[in-house]
């Protein structure tokens, strides 16, 4: 009976989020803003419709992870090598400059503050490493809902995947050094690389098998069936590995992204487009669940308790993202709209940042509980405040770039 009650709570939550998204669309705001506000309102810290019992349940975690794989299809199926090869180096360079730029700015700002206040400097680098993370779901759902297209959109989509890779690599490297500094059980470099790149390797292998099967599949229905079955196989491999690691550490969106990138480059564009027409409503549904899972745990009370560290963190991160993206776009002679407005679309932050924060807290709470409290309170409050503001700014970025409604 409890399971059926949980299912009913989730269905009610989806309906509420869907309606809120439609209301936002009516006043020319992104639907995701409605999903985020609905998620916070119905989460365990407010109305409790989508409570911790549902969010922490194994069946919901499994469902949400599969839907993250589905969401990854949106990114991977856009990464067609024949269309991207001229822009590929620009995207890689811009991703690196905006990621490393954010890390440097946030780390230096907090290093200066912590040096003056007597807080360990290594905490500044942990702030910088967490700040790298970009939550691709909010910006990409703006792309979908407002039908954006143009240089900024085509740069952002592949960057969403690369940004997570760079962010994870920097974060786990910093964690390895900090862990070695404050405790006797450091994280080895081998484990760092394993955690960062394993989801990509899983997706590449299953995507290649899927592409080979698709090349021998004639009917459109069979093509779709092959893709869905192999997507589930990819997710199942992730679940098995997570069970061995005894933690939910793998990025399932990266599995879905790399999986779909490989098979998308092995079949005809017409067949891929035909299949994605069927999948787009499913991806839309997956987006709502992913956003609800991102928003529901956020405590709106943190907005009122946000301190100076939270404000500094939001501003420093925004500065690093914007000027890091501008620098990369200028170095690679990207269009002016990319230089001016790409940074605005990279501001959404929660999701990955909250996962990184929980890992950082688990490392700090034993040897340095005060530092654990600082990082947990600052990032949690920033996630609530930044997420709502960032979606509005991302929408304005696409608008200023002249890309709203340009997708066919």
The total number of structural domains in the chain stands at: 1
The per-residue pLDDT for 135 is 67
* Boundaries of domain holding 333: 2-400
Structural domain includes residue 126: yes
CA 98 – CA 132 distance, rounded (Å) = 8
Asked whether residue 184 is assigned to any structural domain, the reply reads yes
Burial of 129 (0-12, 13-18, 19+ CB in 10 A): buried
Q: For residues 396 and 223, give the distance between their C-alpha atoms in angstroms, rounded to a whole number.
A: 38
- Whether 405 is covered by a domain: the verdict is no
Q: What is the DSSP letter of 186?
A: P
pTM of the model: 0.68
Residue 5 to residue 21: CA distance in whole angstroms: 24
Whether 406 is covered by a domain: the verdict is no
Contact 226, 275 (CB under 8 A): no
At 302 the pLDDT is 64
First CA to last CA distance, the chain:
46
Could you read off the pLDDT of 207-253 as tens digits, one per residue?
999 999 988 887 878 888 888 999 999 999 988 888 887 666 677 87
Number of Cβ atoms within 10 Å of the Cβ of 307: 12
The confidence score (pLDDT) of residue 108 equals 95
In a domain, 408, yes or no: no
How high is the mean pLDDT in each 10-residue block of the chain (408 residues)?
80 90 78 81 85 83 87 76 66 88 94 90 90 73 79 81 75 77 57 72 92 85 88 91 73 84 86 83 84 77 70 91 91 90 82 69 73 78 76 85 80
* CATH value at residue 380: 1.20.1530.20
Residue 217 lies in a domain: yes
What pLDDT, on the 0 to 100 scale, is given for residue 184?
A: 46
What is the CB neighbour count within 10 angstroms for residue 125?
22
User: Which tens digit of pLDDT belongs to each residue from 72-120?
Assistant: 887 777 776 665 565 567 888 888 899 899 999 999 999 999 999 888 8
Cβ contact 212:266 at 8 Å:
yes
Please check whether residue 353 lies inside any domain of the structure: yes
**Where do we find the tokens 């970025």?**
397
Residue 407 resides in a domain: no
């Amino acid at each position: 009976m409890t399971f059926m009650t949980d299912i009913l709570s989730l269905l009610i939550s989806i309906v509420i989020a869907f309606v809120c998204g439609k209301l936002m669309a009516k006043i020319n705001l992104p639907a995701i803003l409605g999903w985020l506000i609905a998620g916070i309102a119905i989460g365990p810290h407010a109305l409790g419709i989508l409570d911790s019992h549902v969010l922490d349940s194994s069946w919901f975690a499994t469902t949400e992870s599969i839907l993250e794989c589905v969401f990854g299809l949106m990114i991977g199926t856009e990464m067609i090598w024949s269309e991207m090869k001229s822009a590929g180096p620009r995207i890689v360079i811009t991703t690196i400059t905006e990621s490393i730029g954010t890390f440097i700015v946030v780390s230096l700002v907090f290093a200066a503050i912590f040096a003056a206040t007597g807080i360990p400097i290594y905490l500044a680098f942990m702030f910088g490493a967490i700040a790298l993370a970009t939550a691709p779901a909010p910006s990409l759902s703006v792309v979908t809902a407002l039908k954006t297209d143009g240089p900024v959109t085509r740069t952002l989509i592949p960057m969403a995947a690369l940004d997570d890779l760079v962010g994870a690599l920097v974060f786990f490297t910093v964690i390895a050094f900090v862990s070695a500094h404050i405790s006797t059980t450091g994280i080895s470099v081998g484990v760092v690389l394993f955690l960062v790149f394993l989801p990509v390797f899983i997706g590449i292998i299953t995507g290649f098998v899927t592409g080979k099967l698709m090349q021998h599949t004639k009917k459109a229905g069979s093509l779709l069936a092959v893709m869905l079955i192999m997507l589930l196989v990819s997710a199942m491999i992730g679940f098995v590995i997570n069970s061995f690691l005894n933690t939910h550490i793998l990025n399932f969106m990266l599995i879905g992204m790399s999986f779909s990138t490989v098979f998308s480059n092995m079949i005809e564009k017409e067949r891929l487009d035909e299949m994605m027409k069927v999948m787009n409503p499913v991806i839309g549904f997956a987006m709502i669940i992913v956003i609800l899972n991102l928003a529901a745990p956020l405590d709106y009370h943190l907005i009122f308790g946000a301190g100076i560290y939270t404000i500094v963190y939001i501003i420093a991160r925004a500065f690093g993202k914007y000027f890091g993206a501008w620098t990369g776009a200028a170095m690679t002679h990207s269009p002016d709209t990319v230089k001016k407005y790409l940074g605005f679309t990279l501001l959404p932050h929660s999701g990955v940042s909250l996962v990184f924060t929980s890992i950082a807290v688990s490392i700090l709470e034993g040897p340095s509980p005060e530092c654990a409290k600082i990082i947990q309170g600052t990032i949690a409050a920033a996630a609530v405040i930044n997420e709502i503001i960032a979606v509005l700014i991302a929408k304005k970025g696409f608008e200023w770039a002249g890309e709203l409604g340009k997708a066919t």
